[in-house]
């Protein structure tokens, strides 16, 4: 009986110490991680809408579009301001890719044209799904104002709504395209309901 109790107690103590060390490390670094995430998101907003001088979060997004954040891909929306005038919006979006969540920023000007698309973070397969953040895929999504729903095609298409998927990464490509489509759809609702001013 003693042969079992001693190793059990030692194992319990080791697990307790390791758990406490992990908890303390998490507690000590959570503010730093949060600040780094905020800086990345701010940088992405500036990249997808470089004309903007300031960004102001649209706090009432749920009531403007009538969809709660749990039921949509767009998590945050920002007015893009230049000389105190709204010149567009930037949307922070999260969608499920092949390897996990893909965080994306999409800028849309007042005419409904995408000004930029930036992958903030992803955990897709290196060399395959991770190529959704590279050229030429990402550039297909910039400068478009589709009249129809964006679709994935092989080899590209004649319409701006037809987006050529990354070879071998159809799921990741669709995740990014769905995110951009939702940003466009929500932007139309925001403009319709007068939430842009």
Domain extents in the chain: 46-192
User: Which tens digits make up the pLDDT trace of 125-173?
Assistant: 888 889 999 988 999 999 998 888 888 887 766 677 888 889 888 999 9
> Mean pLDDT over residues 3-19, rounded?
93
Bond prior to 177 in cis (omega within 30° of 0): no
Given a cut of 80, whether residue 56 has pLDDT beyond it is: yes
| pLDDT cut 70: percent of the chain above it | 95
For position 35, what pLDDT does the model report?
92
pLDDT for residue 15: 97
pLDDT at 101: 94
* pLDDT given for residue 146 in this prediction: 85
pLDDT confidence tier of residue 21, bands split at 50, 70 and 90: very high
Cα 157 from Cα 163, distance rounded (Å)? 7
Task: Residue 150: count other Cβ atoms within 10 Å of its Cβ.
Answer: 22
Average pLDDT, the chain: 90
Task: Please report the pLDDT score of residue 111 as a whole number.
Answer: 93
Helical H segments across the chain, by residue range: 2-48, 61-65, 170-192
pLDDT at 196 over 70: no
The closest alpha carbon to 75, from 44, 49, 52, 50, belongs to 44
| Separation CA 18–CA 16 (nearest Å) | 6
Q: What is the pLDDT of residue 195?
A: 57
């Amino acid at each position: 009986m003693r042969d079992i109790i001693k190793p059990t107690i030692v194992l319990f103590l080791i697990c307790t110490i390791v758990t406490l060390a992990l908890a303390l490390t998490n507690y000590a670094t959570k503010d730093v991680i949060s600040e780094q995430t905020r800086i990345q998101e701010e940088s992405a907003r500036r990249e997808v809408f470089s004309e903007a001088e300031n960004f102001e979060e649209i706090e009432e997004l749920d009531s403007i579009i009538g969809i709660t954040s749990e039921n949509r891909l767009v998590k945050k929306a920002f007015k893009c301001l230049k000389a105190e005038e709204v010149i567009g919006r930037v949307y922070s979006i999260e969608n499920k890719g092949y390897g996990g969540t893909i965080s994306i920023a999409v800028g849309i000007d007042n005419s409904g044209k995408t000004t930029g698309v930036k992958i903030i973070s992803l955990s897709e397969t290196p060399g395959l799904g991770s190529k959704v953040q590279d050229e030429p895929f990402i550039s297909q999504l910039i400068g478009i104002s589709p009249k129809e729903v964006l679709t994935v095609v092989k080899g590209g298409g004649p319409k701006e709504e037809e987006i050529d998927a990354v070879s071998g990464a159809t799921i990741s490509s669709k995740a990014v395209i769905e995110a951009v489509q939702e940003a466009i759809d929500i932007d139309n609702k925001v403009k319709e309901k007068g939430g842009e001013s």
